[in-house]
């Protein structure tokens, strides 16, 4: 009978999709051990003030060095980590703890202070004990709350607004700030946006890409509106995915506060970023000499 069941099970997976499905299961199994086998690593990408060229924050971006498959993108394994719950524990907890630890290490090395920005999955944010997890990451590392920012998506925040507001208020008490990630791609109620205690708007990369689409428009009016709205709500506005000089120039002219993208700096391991940070401001002024790469 067992053999029979085994055969049926095999048949279920012997469809076109089977390779993918089996691959997913294997990957999910491997992900289980990724933290304890030290296969996860954080890379960090600077968020640079357009006016001064100073690094105001770094975003922690998760990388998985799979023993057989090599480097796997978070776009592939974050969904698996969410389906399996691993995104909460151990992965999410590890990311928070590691990002805080590394930031304290940079502070102790005498680098100018900047925030560290950590992506938070809806599954983490939805948990009752999430605020405690953040509080212990801060306490254990010794990082002050004001140097930590959490990135959430608008769809998550808008789904259950009153719960979100309560959770954000508790995080605020720790001194932690909140960014809305991928802004403009989800569903935002402008009324709710004003009510939620947030600090930063990150305009999604797709708008920055669309900036070059046509000489007289493309996404420009939308970006202008997002910057104006962000500033009216006294938020810091970040442009994600800035890849060209022309994009940076235009965003600076529009008063966008921070830029994050391959033009000025790619995500990189902590050690490499340390060297980048030691070298000082990247941009003297928008009209000044060309940027250091």
Query: Per CB under 6 A, which region of 3-11, 71-79, 126-134, 185-193 contacts ligand C2E?
Result: 71-79
Sign of CA dihedral 285, 230, 247, 261: positive
Residues 222-251, one symbol each (x = binds ligand C2E by CB under 6 A, - = not), give ------------------xxxx--------
200 touches Mg ion (CB under 5 A): no
CA distance 168 to 162: 10
Sign of CA dihedral 268, 47, 133, 92: negative
Sole binder of ligand C2E in the list 115, 141, 267, 273 (CB under 6 A)? 267
Six token digits for residue 18: 């089977």
Sole binder of ligand C2E in the list 181, 223, 238, 270 (CB under 6 A)? 181
Q: Helix, strand, coil: what percent of the chain each, to 5?
A: 50, 20, 30
195 touches ligand C2E (CB under 6 A): no
CA distance 44 to 62: 9
Any alpha helices (H) in the chain, and if so which ranges?
A: 2-13, 18-34, 74-83, 93-108, 122-125, 130-141, 154-159, 161-173, 190-195, 205-210, 220-232, 245-253, 270-278
Query: Per CB under 6 A, which region of 17-25, 118-126, 157-165, 171-179 contacts ligand C2E?
Result: 118-126
Partner whose footprint covers residue 188, from Mg ion, ligand C2E, none (CB < 5 to 8 Å by kind): none
- Residue 13 or 84: the one with the smaller Cβ distance to ligand C2E is 84
Sole binder of ligand C2E in the list 235, 261, 270, 273 (CB under 6 A)? 261
Sign of CA dihedral 150, 155, 158, 163: negative
β-pair partners for 118: 60, 150
| Window 229 to 248, contacts with Mg ion (CB under 5 A) | 240
CA distance 261 to 263: 5
154 touches ligand C2E (CB under 6 A): no
Partner whose footprint covers residue 137, from ligand C2E, Mg ion, none (CB < 5 to 8 Å by kind): none
Sole binder of ligand C2E in the list 57, 98, 106, 121 (CB under 6 A)? 121
119 touches Mg ion (CB under 5 A): yes
Sole binder of ligand C2E in the list 2, 5, 75, 191 (CB under 6 A)? 75
151 touches Mg ion (CB under 5 A): yes
30 touches Mg ion (CB under 5 A): no
Six token digits for residue 120: 């938070």
140 touches ligand C2E (CB under 6 A): no
| Window 32 to 51, contacts with ligand C2E (CB under 6 A) | 45
- Residue 244 or 254: the one with the smaller Cβ distance to ligand C2E is 244
What distances in angstroms separate CA 197 from CA 11, 159, 173, 181, one per listed residue?
Answer: 52, 16, 11, 14
Distance of CA 19 to the CA centre of its chain: 31
- In the complex, which residues of this chain contact ligand C2E (CB under 6 A)? 45, 61-62, 73-75, 78, 87, 95, 119-121, 151, 181-182, 205, 240-243, 260-262, 267
């Amino acid at each position: 009978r067992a053999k029979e069941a085994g055969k049926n099970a095999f048949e279920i997976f012997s469809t076109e999709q089977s390779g993918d499905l089996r691959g997913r299961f294997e990957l999910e199994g491997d992900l289980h051990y990724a933290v304890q086998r030290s296969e996860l690593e954080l890379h960090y990408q600077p968020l640079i003030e357009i006016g001064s060229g100073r690094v105001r924050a770094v975003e922690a971006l998760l990388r998985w060095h799979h023993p057989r498959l090599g480097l796997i993108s978070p776009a592939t394994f974050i969904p698996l980590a969410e389906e399996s719950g691993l995104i909460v524990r151990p992965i999410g907890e590890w990311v928070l703890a590691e990002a805080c630890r590394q930031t304290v290490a940079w502070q102790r090395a005498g680098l100018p202070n900047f925030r560290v920005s950590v992506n938070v999955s809806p599954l983490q944010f939805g948990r009752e004990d999430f605020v405690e997890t953040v509080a212990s990451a801060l306490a254990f590392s010794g990082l002050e709350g004001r140097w930590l920012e959490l990135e959430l998506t608008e769809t998550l925040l808008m789904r259950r607004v009153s719960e979100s507001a309560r959770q954000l208020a508790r995080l605020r008490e720790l001194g932690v700030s909140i960014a809305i990630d991928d802004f403009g791609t989800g569903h935002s109620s402008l009324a709710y946006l004003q009510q939620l205690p947030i600090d930063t708007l990150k305009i999604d990369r797709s708008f920055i890409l669309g900036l070059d689409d046509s000489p007289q428009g493309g996404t420009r009016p939308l970006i202008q509106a997002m910057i104006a709205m962000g500033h009216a709500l006294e938020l810091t506005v970040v442009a994600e995915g800035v890849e060209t000089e022309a994009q940076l120039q235009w965003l600076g002219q529009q008063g966008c506060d921070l830029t994050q993208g391959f033009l000025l700096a790619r995500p990189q391991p902590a050690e490499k970023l340390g060297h980048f940070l030691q070298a000082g401001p990247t941009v003297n002024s928008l009209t000044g000499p060309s940027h250091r790469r």
